[in-house]
Structure 1
Amino acid sequence: MFSLSRLPTRLFPTCIQSTTRSVVSTSMDGWKQASKYMELDVKTKATLVPQPRGAISTPSAFLTAIGRSCADVSDKFKSWDHLFTATSLEMGDSLAIPVRKRKYILLWREWFKRGIEPRTIEIPKRAKKHLRLKNRVQLVRLKKQGLA
């Protein structure tokens, strides 16, 4: 059995050593699909609409699977094809999807085309060190204004 813990840490970047981050994995079929997808030219990649896989067969199922309350905007997509062909500009202007959700949906849309199964990626919490520093800076500003 191969173990990373027995090897010197200088050989591997910290992202591999970290136990808090999850590794994106997919099945062999997913890897085959990803290799086929990567060989396509740019215009074909942009217009490619993947076939629904498993339990993910509707826009609402896809948006529920990726999480971060993206299911709230599932009624704005007419069909599976519309979800995968809508541009970022169209999502912002005519569908009125907020920027963060739009970027997250576009990210997962690309990953789904590459064969990666959707899952929720939580937004990381800020470090307490950052919050202490933020409080100090706020206190200095209030003192300069004479409010502290």
Structure 2
Amino acid sequence: MLAALGRPGPGADLDAARAEITALTTAGAPLDPRVAHAVRETTRTGSTATIGMAAAQVGYSPPRLRTLVRDRVGIPLARLRLWARLRTAMAGLPAESAAAAAASAGFADQAHFTRTARTLTGRTPSEILRPPTAGAPA
């Protein structure tokens, strides 16, 4: 950025700086529709699609699909699936028990749900739901 600006102040090359910012912040290449479909299919609420099933639907082997998702999206497909399950389970709380929310989201049990929440967010489901106390950081 500083190199694109040249010297600071009134004589700075703002056009070069703007071009540099645009190059750094512009969205990358569009996601391959087959990869996008596989991600949607395996992460949508209530989906029972496995990575193997999604790969077969789009004509990739499971390892190839995992590689493409990681390379194009930047997050492994298995991690995206865990985030989707966590989102589904958290949406069920507090209307249902943690065990029921875990089961409906596809977790093996309540402990699996709690471990996943702690791994992904650093907090347990009850800590996520707990309103912040006055003066405590959010």
TM-score (norm: length of structure 2): 0.24
In terms of fraction of residues, the more helix-rich structure is: 2
TM-score (norm: length of structure 1): 0.23
With a CA cutoff of 8 Å and minimum separation of 6, indicate the structure with the bigger relative contact order: 1
